[in-house]
Amino acid sequence: MQIQENYSLIKHNTFHLDVRARWFVQYDSEEDLKRLLNDEYFFSQTFWHIGQGSNLLFLGDYNGIIIHSGIKGIELLKEDDKYVWVKAGAAEDWDSFVAYCVEQGWGGLENLSFIPGEVGASAFQNIGAYGVEVSEFIDSVHTYFLETGEKKLFTREECNYSYRHSFFKEVSNRGLYYITHVIYRLNKNPDFRLDYGNVKASLEGKEVNLKNIREAIIRIRKEKLPDPEKAGNAGSFFMNPYISTIELRELQKNYPSIPFYVCDESRVKIPAAWLIDQCGLKGKTYGGAAVHQKQPLVIINSDKATGEDIALLGEEVRRIVYETFKIELQPEVNYI
């Protein structure tokens, strides 16, 4: 277990905000975690568990304990003719894990290449990209329940997954379960997903296999999304909003080319990037924060931004989009 006092979180959030935690605790095993959950001092403080900080916005210093898992390891649990079941520690770097699965010839996660973050967060957030959500490939999730200090295993159904949502994100469960391991069920004979955006076009002339799909996804992401090492960001700042088909028909009167994805008979999802773009907000700044020029759904730390700059710019974007379209954007980024 590593314990640090007055610790800079600059390397633990991809906005690269130099905020401090009163305490930073990293547990490296389940035994460490059990010790932490039996500690009275720990429970007398405010505390929050983070992953790689790729979806977090710190609004200021954290006067409590920031906890991070150091539990690593990748293990092939079992296999049959069609599938493999792979167990990964919550602290495994997500993209290294995807690369490993692609190398082994295990299909499913390749469209989720190059997403910053860790294995634990993939199961918490239900990360998704290029026509795939990770929940499709999650078999079960190992956790510790804070209220009793006991282990609890969640099946995929119990995780209650939907778009960028899980049981663990629900208000009444938030912060109460620490994910230690995730078990994924991956395909030995993958069915490739190439229908989203320009994935198929990026593979032109190349054999369709896991490695080439992964490379195409990495190319597409590098083109569109800012590198957090150069301009701190947390990927999409907002979720894509759902609206009813009735609202869509109303909007189509003024915006006949509005893009949408059909969800069911009564609902569609609108790309928030399009709404923000239509409001002319690309490049808009507040303090050191800016709306990214190429993908306006991303807010970047362009020049020594504070958490407040980023939050206020986000609020301004939300307000303008609401005034223009009467659609409320919900942040995907978690504020601390």
130 binds ligand EPU per the rule CB under 6 A: yes
Question: Cα separations (Å) of 242 from 82, 136, 263?
Answer: 35, 21, 9
**95 to each of 99, 101, 105, 111, 115, how far by Cα in Å?**
6, 10, 15, 11, 6
Shortest spacing between CB 293 and ligand EPU, in angstroms: 8
Piece of 139-147, 154-162, 235-243, 305-313 that binds ligand EPU (CB under 6 A): 235-243
Q: Please state, as a whole number, how many other Cβ atoms lie within 10 Å of the Cβ of residue 276.
A: 27
Contact of 289 with 305, CB cutoff 8 Å: yes
Q: Are 102 and 214 in contact (CB under 8 A)?
A: yes
Q: Is there a contact between 203 and 213 (Cβ–Cβ < 8 Å)? A: yes
129 binds ligand EPU (CB under 6 A): yes
Alpha-helix runs per DSSP H in the chain: 30-37, 40-44, 94-104, 119-125, 199-202, 210-224, 245-254, 272-278, 307-325
Tokens of 306: 């504070």
Residues from 55 through 84 that contact ligand EPU (CB under 6 A): none
- At 31 the three-state DSSP class reads helix
The residue from 113, 202, 236, 302 that is catalytic is 236
Q: Determine, following the binding rule CB under 6 A, whether residue 120 of this chain makes contact with ligand EPU.
A: no
Find the part of the chain contacting ligand EPU (CB under 6 A) among 36-44, 69-77, 166-174, 271-279. 271-279
> What does the alpha-carbon distance between residue 162 and residue 135 come to, in Å, rounded to a whole number?
8
Task: Please give the Cα distance from 148 to 98 (Å, whole number).
Answer: 33
Residue 332 catalytic?
yes
Q: Of the residues 22, 156, 164, 267, which is catalytic? A: 164
CB of 259 to ligand EPU, least distance (A): 4
Q: Which residues of 64-75 are buried (b: 16+ CB within 10 A; e: fewer)?
A: ebbbbbebeebe
The answer to whether residues 101 and 109 touch, using CB atoms and an 8 Å cutoff, is yes
Decide: is 94 part of the binding site for ligand EPU (CB under 6 A): no
Q: Give the pair of three-digit tokens for residue 264.
A: 């069911």
Within 200-229, which residues bind ligand EPU (CB under 6 A)? 224
Which is closer to ligand EPU, CB of 180 or CB of 236? 236
Closer residue to ligand EPU in complex, CB, 24/237: 237
- Mark the segment that binds ligand EPU (CB under 6 A) among 74-82, 186-194, 232-240, 319-327: 232-240
User: Which of residues 60, 149, 175, 197 is near ligand EPU by CB under 6 A?
Assistant: 197
Q: Identify the H or E element spanning 45.
A: none
Of these, 79, 139, 247, 277, which contacts ligand EPU (CB under 6 A)?
Answer: 277
Instruction: Please pick, from the candidates 239, 248, 251, 312, the single residue that binds ligand EPU as defined by CB under 6 A.
Output: 239
* Closest CB to ligand EPU among residues 42, 196: 196
Q: For the segment 289-308, give every residue that binds ligand EPU (CB under 6 A).
A: 295-297
Smallest distance from ligand EPU to CB 121, Å: 11
**Catalytic annotation on 323?**
no
Of 146 and 281, the one with the shorter C-beta distance to ligand EPU is: 281
Q: Judge residue 8's burial from the number of C-beta atoms within 10 Å of its C-beta, 0-12 exposed, 13-18 middle, 19 or more buried.
A: middle
HSE-up of residue 311 (Cα within 13 Å, Cβ side): 12
Residues 26-45 vs ligand EPU: string with x where CB under 6 A?
--------------------
Q: Which residues are catalytic?
A: 164, 236, 332
Binding site for ligand EPU (CB under 6 A): 129-130, 196-197, 224, 235-236, 239-240, 259, 271, 273-274, 277, 295-297, 332
